[in-house]
Structure 1
Amino acid sequence: MDIAQNAALVVVDVQKGFEEVDFWGTRNNPAADDNIAALIDVWQSTGRPVVFVRHDSVKPGSPLRTGYEGNGFKEYVERRRGKGNGAELLVTKSVNSAFLGTPDLGAWLREAGISQVVLAGIQTNMCVETTARMGGNLGYEVVVAFDATYTFGLEGPFGWRQSADELARASAVSLHGGGFAMVVTTEDVLTAAK
């Protein structure tokens, strides 16, 4: 796997509000935060661009709502912002895709001549997956560092319930098998990026 020298790391919604277990339920992938931190560190040390995406929920009571402490980035992410040698961008959004936020992520990537994006963050099957699908549709080479993402169990129609692991696996299969993105491990990405 090749990671371009100007590949953008897009860190999706790594916010304090996702720590509220009573709201979200049980998460998967306990190593995800360490993996996200490792990706940011390598991107910053190699001068690659990093995009930090923040979900500004418009839903009352959401742990990610604007003005609530849960809207802020987790401490390890906030501590790293502004520390890299490469370009950095903050995108805010109120929908699932980082490509539908402010400022326009696609325009920023095109202006910088970036065609490859590496995704990490929260939630695997929501904002990470939606951003990956849109990125693939827009013609970007999308890489998802699967173990640098996590999600929570959900109940859907007909009383169907899937665990966080089941949802994450289904998301990985859809993205990779459907040709939207290459789904790999953090170690794969770090090895290729160093």
Structure 2
Amino acid sequence: MAFMPLLVDVTARCTEDMTDELDLKNAALVLVDVQQGFRDPWWGRPSGLGTAYANITRLGRAWNDRGLPVVKVRHDSRNPESPLYSGGPGNRFEAAIDALSGDVLVTKTVNSAFLGTPDLATWLRERGISAIVVAGVQTNACVETTARMGGNLGFSVTVPLDATATFDLEGPVLTGNSPLKLSAEELMRATAVSLHGAGFARVTETAAVLSSLDTAAP
């Protein structure tokens, strides 16, 4: 049977109060593309990749310690020149992530974890999971796209920004201008504003997520 997405009024989500206390009693941790290939200089200058990976590991261990669901997402690039090329050494998870217990592995070739295999939305709904915490790489690409799509599909989405990382990026050349460029840090700020301000996701920090997890009722 073909999967029929749950249609959500995004304008309604934009009016939600994102300052309410986090509720993670029914949340899965979705770890997006925490792969060795992102350490390759091919990507350009990163934001704090090491800090992000440390925070991602903290989150993963906290979820494992509590027996909460963990989704590992892996990007299987079809581009032989990509450090994430399927079957190449960079395609492997970071060692600390590989050591975590995962409830399901989702593989994908596009940005969104919701367009991978197996179908993430179906997997979550079959288990009665209505909330996700999304962390990983890249902030403005696969993390942001997964968060946006999760919000559109009706899930409550939280993104701890300091558990994500990205790289400097160059955009188009518009008439009469130099190439548009944004640093990794600027891209992270833009993602935070877009996701949180437009109501796709609650953007916060790792410490706040862990604190909420500690106080969540079983």
TM range (shorter): over 0.9
Residue 3 of structure 1 deviates from its aligned partner by: 3.1
Q: Which moved more, 1:115-124 or 1:23-32?
A: 23-32
Q: Give the match for residue 59 of structure 2.
A: 39
Within-5 A mapping of 1:34-113: 34-82=54-102, 88-113=103-128
Q: Distance in 1 between matches of 2:73 and 2:29?
A: 10
Q: Give the match for residue 44 of structure 2.
A: 25
**AA of the residue aligned to 1:93:** K
Gaps of 5+ in 1: 83-87
Q: Describe the superposition over 1:31-84 as per-residue Cα deviations: whole angstroms up to 9, x where unpaired.
A: 1111000000111111110000000001121100111000000111112235xx
| Residue 143 (1) aligns with residue 162 (2) | no
Q: Distance in 2 between matches of 1:51 and 1:5?
A: 16
Q: Does structure 1 retain, via aligned residues, the 8 Å contact 2:135–2:143? A: yes
| Residue 180 (1) aligns with residue 195 (2) | no
| Number of residue equivalences | 188
Q: State the SS of the aligned residue for 1:130.
A: helix
Residue 18 of structure 1 deviates from its aligned partner by: 0.2
Q: Does structure 2 retain, via aligned residues, the 8 Å contact 1:3–1:189? A: no
Higher-Rg member (1/2): 2
Q: State the SS of the aligned residue for 2:161.
A: strand
| Residue 192 (1) aligns with residue 207 (2) | no
Q: Does structure 2 retain, via aligned residues, the 8 Å contact 1:6–1:49? A: no
Aligned-residue Cα RMSD (Å) equals 0.9
Q: Distance in 2 between matches of 1:169 and 1:15?
A: 23
Runs of 4+ that moved beyond 2 A: 1-6
**AA of the residue aligned to 1:154:** L
**AA of the residue aligned to 2:35:** Q
Q: Distance in 2 between matches of 1:72 and 1:110?
A: 28
Q: Give the match for residue 127 of structure 1.
A: 142
**Alignment equivalent of 1:2, drawn from 15, 22, 26:** 22
Q: Distance in 2 between matches of 1:119 and 1:67?
A: 25
Residue 117 of structure 1 deviates from its aligned partner by: 0.3
TM-score (norm 1): 0.95
Q: Give the match for residue 114 of structure 1.
A: 129
